[in-house]
Amino acid sequence: MKKWLPIAIFAMAGVTGFFISGFDIPLKGASFKGAPKTEAQLGEKLFFDKMLSADRSLSCASCHIPSHGFADTVAFSRGVGGRLGKRNTPSCANVADRPYLFYDGRAASLEDQVRFPIEDHNEMDLPIEEAVKRVGADKKYVAWFKKIYGAAPTAKTLQAAIAAFERTIETSKTPFDRYMADDEKAMSASAIRGRELFMSDRAKCFDCHFSPDFTGDEFRNIGLYDGVTFNDEGRYGITRDKNDLGKFKVPGLRNVAVTGPYMHNGMFRTLREVIEYYNDPYKVVKAPVNIDTALAKPLNLTEQEKTDLENFLLALTDDRFVNK
């Protein structure tokens, strides 16, 4: 059942206008000039404001780079004082429908999520109360918060504003979405074959990467944990349930062409390397712990099939990220 539901959703997309998005990608700061008129615009100002980091050197956008699908271009981002993070920076686009945030799912809402990077020693390193104080000491922000929330900034409204902005970063102007809306020429023949393969029982990508954003919001283990070389415990760090060792939140795949490097540890630089990994995980990790049964056997993909899968993944890129 689970496998057909998303197909139905895709099929409906064209008819119902299911995918709605209207944001202009703010490439160099806010996408508008002057005072914010909405909660989301206030959040957008904050998203680009370096005031939210201890030494005022970083904003959210320093790691979630707009032109790279709101992800970073390095395996591990550097926070305040040049400190290296422990996981790859994922995209923060298409997060409106996510029930969990972070690779280990430790935040359950976008509002809640916001305080983690602000307070994280390796990221912005600023206690949230301190962040609120800074914003509250800035006359223009005080006026904007007053206009939008009717009161001076609090942790709650600061987090709400940034979350509201993140909810606007939805991307569906893609060849794939046009194809699903009955424009058969929108995807190449290779990408169309790649889509079939992606959904097939052979490649099984769709077992984990489904629904409109290509994630079922589950925690799964693709074999990148062996307790020795690959030692990020993933979901287990939160639940302490042995079954969760090496499980990570399945990332959505929209805009994956521009969000590399890939995986929680940024170990693959290209989509081709990711596909090679799925083709035979055991070549990379000899003794994975708890690897998902979907990946029990090598896929034995031909070179053409790998290219087809790659072309399908490329077709998930929003027009606004192309050539940016």
User: Residues interacting with ligand HEC, by CB under 6 A?
Assistant: 52, 58, 60, 62-64, 77, 79, 85, 87, 89-90, 92, 95, 98, 101-104, 113-114, 117-118, 123-124, 162, 166, 203-205, 207-209, 220, 222, 224, 248, 250-251, 253, 256, 259, 262-264, 271, 274-275, 278, 292, 294-295, 309
Any idea what the Cα angle at residue 237 is, between residues 231 and 243, rounded to 5°?
85
The CB density around residue 100, as the number of other CB atoms within 10 Å, is 18
Q: CB of residue 242 vs ligand HEC: minimum separation in angstroms?
A: 18
Q: Which of 299, 318, 273, 269 is nearest to 19 (CA)?
A: 318
Nearer to ligand HEC, 45 or 204 (CB): 204
Using a 10 angstrom Cβ sphere, with 0-12 exposed, 13-18 middle and 19 or more buried, the burial of residue 92 is buried
Q: Which of 83, 88, 50, 93 is nearest to 72 (CA)?
A: 88
The CB density around residue 27, as the number of other CB atoms within 10 Å, is 12
Nearer to ligand HEC, 14 or 232 (CB): 232
Q: CB of residue 46 vs ligand HEC: minimum separation in angstroms?
A: 7
Q: CB of residue 207 vs ligand HEC: minimum separation in angstroms?
A: 5
Nearer to ligand HEC, 54 or 256 (CB): 256
Q: CB of residue 215 vs ligand HEC: minimum separation in angstroms?
A: 8
Distances (CA, A) of 62 to 201, 257, 266: 40, 19, 17
Nearer to ligand HEC, 245 or 250 (CB): 250
The identity of residue 139, as a single letter, is: K
Query: Side-chain half-sphere of 285: how many Cα atoms within 13 Å?
Result: 24
Tokens of 271: 């989509």
Length of the chain in residues, anyone? 324
Contacts of 295 (CB under 8 A, 6+ apart): 204, 222, 223, 278, 281
In angstroms, the CA 183 to CA 192 distance is: 12
Q: CB of residue 239 vs ligand HEC: minimum separation in angstroms?
A: 15
Nearer to ligand HEC, 44 or 177 (CB): 44
The identity of residue 302, as a single letter, is: T
Tokens of 109: 């809402």
Q: CB of residue 21 vs ligand HEC: minimum separation in angstroms?
A: 17
Are 264 and 87 in contact by the 8 Å Cβ rule? The answer is: yes
Nearer to ligand HEC, 98 or 320 (CB): 98
Nearer to ligand HEC, 47 or 150 (CB): 47
Q: CB of residue 101 vs ligand HEC: minimum separation in angstroms?
A: 4
Q: CB of residue 35 vs ligand HEC: minimum separation in angstroms?
A: 21
Nearer to ligand HEC, 12 or 269 (CB): 269
